[in-house]
Amino acid sequence: MSPNHNVPTSPAQSFRARWTTRIIGITAAVATAVTVWLGLWVTPPDETQGDLVRLVYIHPGVAWVALYLAFALAAVASLLYLWPRTRSLFWDRLAAAAVEVGVVFNVCTLISGSIWGKPTWGVWWAWDARLTSTAVLLVLFLGYLALRRVPAEPEVRAKRSAFVALFAAVDIPIVHFSVLWWKTLHQGATVLNPNLSPTIHGSMAWTLLLGFVALTLVFVWMLLVRYRIGVLEDWLGTGELDLALRERQAEGGSLDEDEAA
Partner 1 sequence: MAPLAPPHPAVFLHDAVALSGRFPLLAGVDLEVAVGETVLVEGPNGAGKTSLLRVCAGLVPLASGEAVVLGLDPVRQRNQVRRRVGLLSHASHLYDDLTVQENVRFAVRAAGADTDRIGGACERWGLTGRLLKTSAAKLSAGQRRRVALAVLMARWPELWLLDEPHAGLDASARETLDQLIGEAGADGITVVIASHELGFVESLAERAVTVTGGRITGGRSLTAGTAAEAVAGVDGGAGPAHPGQPVDRLGPVDPDDRTDEVAHVA
Partner 2 sequence: MWRDSLLVAGKDLRIEARSRVGLSQVAPFGIVALVLFAFALGPDRTLMAKGAPGLFWVAVLFCTVLAVQRSVSVEAVDGARDGLRLSGLDPAGLFLGKSAAIAAQLVVLEVVLGAGVVLLYGASIEVPWLIVASCVLGTIGLAATGTLYGALSAGLRVRETLLPFLFLPIAAPVLLAGTRIWQAGLSGGTASYGGPWLRLLVVFDAVYVALGIVVFGPIQESA
Among positions 4, 10, 48, 190, the unique one binding partner 1 when judged by CB under 8 A: 4
User: Quick one: what does residue 189 bind among partner 2, partner 1, none, with the CB cut-off 5 to 8 Å set by partner type?
Assistant: none
Is residue 256 within the footprint of partner 1 (CB under 8 A)? yes
Shortest distance, CB of residue 254 to partner 1, whole angstroms? 8
- Segment contacting partner 2 by CB under 8 A, of 4-12, 102-110, 136-144, 241-249: 136-144
Question: How far apart are the C-alpha atoms of 222 and 66, rounded to whole Å?
Answer: 13
User: Quick one: what does residue 33 bind among partner 1, partner 2, none, with the CB cut-off 5 to 8 Å set by partner type?
Assistant: none
Three-state secondary-structure class, residue 46: strand
Shortest distance, CB of residue 125 to partner 1, whole angstroms? 43
Q: Residue 145 is inside which H or E element, if any?
A: helix 129-149
Shortest distance, CB of residue 187 to partner 1, whole angstroms? 52
User: Quick one: what does residue 163 bind among partner 2, partner 1, none, with the CB cut-off 5 to 8 Å set by partner type?
Assistant: partner 2
User: Quick one: what does residue 255 bind among partner 2, partner 1, none, with the CB cut-off 5 to 8 Å set by partner type?
Assistant: partner 1
Question: How far apart are the C-alpha atoms of 143 and 146, rounded to whole Å?
Answer: 5
Question: DSSP string spanning 50-64?
Answer: BGGGGGGGTHHHHHI
Q: At 151, which amino acid appears? A: P
Among positions 7, 166, 209, 213, the unique one binding partner 2 when judged by CB under 8 A: 166
Question: How far apart are the C-alpha atoms of 71 and 67, rounded to whole Å?
Answer: 6
Is residue 40 within the footprint of partner 2 (CB under 8 A)? no
User: How many Cβ atoms are within 10 Å of 148's Cβ, its own excluded?
Assistant: 19
Question: DSSP string spanning 110-138?
Answer: HHHHHHHHHHHHSSS----HHHHHHHHHH
Residues composing the chain:
261
Shortest distance, CB of residue 89 to partner 2, whole angstroms? 14
Residues near partner 1 (CB under 8 A) are: 1-2, 4-5, 152-153, 237-238, 240-242, 244-257, 259-260
